[in-house]
Amino acid sequence: MPFVERVFSGVQPTGNLHLGNYLGAIVNFVKMQETHNCIYCVVDMHAITQGVDVWGGPAELTRNTREVTAAFIAAGIDPKKHIVFNQSQVSGHAELAWIFNCVARMGWLGRMTQFKEKAGKDRENASVGLFDYPVLMAADILVYRATHVPVGEDQKQHLELSRDIAQKFNNDFGDSIRAQGNNDGLFFPLPEPLITGPATRVMSLRDGTKKMSKSDASDNSRINLTDDADTIAQKIRKAKTDPEPLPTEEKGLEARPEADNLVGIFAALSGRSKAEVLREFGGGQFSSFKNALAELCVTKLAPIAGEMKRLVADPGHIDAILIDGSDRARAIADETMKLSKDIVGFIRRR
Ligand code: AQP
């Protein structure tokens, strides 16, 4: 069966959204709206997979859920033409995740590097949810039978697992899928990751070998979407660099992770290539490049921060958007769940 193209992606409400989330994911979410039907989810069930000390407790979760929703809209996502909602309002995510738990293999999950990084040395104390996170992610995507998933580079391995789960489900239940009238035996599409643009992996401002991340202990490692102009300028001024001037060609960025990262951020925000950026700034000192970068960041991010502030001041409006979005998401998810239950052989009310 040819699948109707549909985009799905999510962001966790686990704290300050940063430039990595924006350039690696949200910018592409906005772009995809022009060509596809899109579903953008604030994945609050993923947010609670680490200790409550990490995600901050109920009030913080609610606040962060509204803030991510505000960021989506402030960045240009249209919640009327597309769907914006929070995951926990659509029970199909959890229901399909259970079926997928019985399809996915322990060995597959054991290879997930994000689990290894997040659980660290204390694996015995990690939640079952953190281990199972990629299975829920597969359900998030496939409960809408989404075909395309814009994500940052760090999510590539999880997307591959989603494809493996979809394929194994189609194989395991092939006869049943065909018996439901689906002659090619394909019920779930194999979702394609869309890892595009010049900033698929934005790195920490303090260490160019580590990804920019919400959970980094140092706030100076990231630019938050809500940072004011002075904070942005200060963080960029303090960003780690090396003693050499900027190279004139892209090849000169090799083995210079901090320089490469800052040039990459400039390129992404200005819609230019790294080579073009180096044509303007190559050979110069970091100080003047950093001034230009700070100015560019403020120009691009200040309107988003301002709009987010305006939106979060009216939580009732944000909640109404999430409720409306979840109603429309649920209609699609319920249909997938009905068919999935029939395929598996679960009896249900007809
Ligand atoms: N540094 C990054 N560069 C490019 N893309 C990134 N993304 C995250 N960090 C970068 C992309 O942002 C989307 C939403 O991410 P998430 O909130 O679901 O969780 P994450 O990938 O775990 O992001 P964080 O901010 O780094 O959180 P922590 O600190 O909890 O690990 C995804 O598409 C992601 O690829």
- Per-residue pLDDT of 30-78, as tens digits, reads 999 999 999 999 999 999 999 898 899 999 999 999 999 999 999 999 9
Q: Give the ligand 1 atom nearest the CA of 216.
A: 29
Could you tell me which of 241, 238, 209 has the C-alpha nearest to residue 223? 238
214 belongs to the catalytic site: yes
Domain 7-200+314-344: CATH class, spelled out: alpha beta
CATH number assigned to the domain with residue range 219-310, chosen from the 4 options 1.10.240.10, 3.40.640.10, 1.10.10.10, 3.40.50.150: 1.10.240.10
Which pTM was predicted?
Answer: 0.96
Distance 43 CA to ligand 1 centre (A): 12
80 belongs to the catalytic site: no
* 212 three-state secondary structure: coil
pLDDT, mean of residues 336-347: 98
Residue 153 annotated as binding site: yes
251 belongs to the catalytic site: no
Sheet containing 148-150: order of strands: 83-86, 37-42, 6-11, 148-150, 192-194
DSSP letter, residue 88: G
- 12 Cβ closer than 6 Å to some ligand 1 atom: yes
Distance 191 CA to ligand 1 centre (A): 19
Residue 238 annotated as binding site: no
Q: How far is Cα 324 from Cα 318, in angstroms, rounded to an integer?
A: 10
Q: What is the pLDDT of residues 255-291, one digit of tens each?
A: 999 999 999 999 999 999 999 999 999 998 899 999 9
Domain ranges of the chain: 7-200+314-344, 219-310
Confidence (pLDDT) at 1: 57
Q: What is the pLDDT of residues 270-279, one digit of tens each?
A: 999 999 999 9
pLDDT, mean of residues 21-34: 96
Could you tell me which of 134, 129, 106, 130 has the C-alpha nearest to residue 118? 130
Q: What is the mean pLDDT of the chain?
A: 96
- Which is catalytic among the residues 121, 168, 214, 251? 214
Task: Quote the strand ranges of 5-107, DSSP E.
Answer: 6-11, 37-42, 83-86
pLDDT, mean of residues 209-228: 94
- 6 Cβ closer than 6 Å to some ligand 1 atom: no
Residue 20 annotated as binding site: yes
pLDDT, mean of residues 295-324: 97
Q: What is the pLDDT of residues 144-165, one digit of tens each?
A: 999 999 999 999 999 999 999 9
- 92 Cβ closer than 6 Å to some ligand 1 atom: no
Confidence (pLDDT) at 336: 98
Phi, psi of 212 (to 5 degrees): -65, 130
* 211 three-state secondary structure: strand
Residue 214 annotated as binding site: yes
Distance 152 CA to ligand 1 centre (A): 7
Q: What is the pLDDT of residues 129-143, one digit of tens each?
A: 999 999 999 999 999
Task: Quote the strand ranges of 55-189, DSSP E.
Answer: 83-86, 148-150
- Which is catalytic among the residues 31, 116, 210, 211? 211
Confidence (pLDDT) at 164: 98
In sequence order, the β-bridge partners of residue 173 are none
198 in Cβ contact with 250 (< 8 Å): no
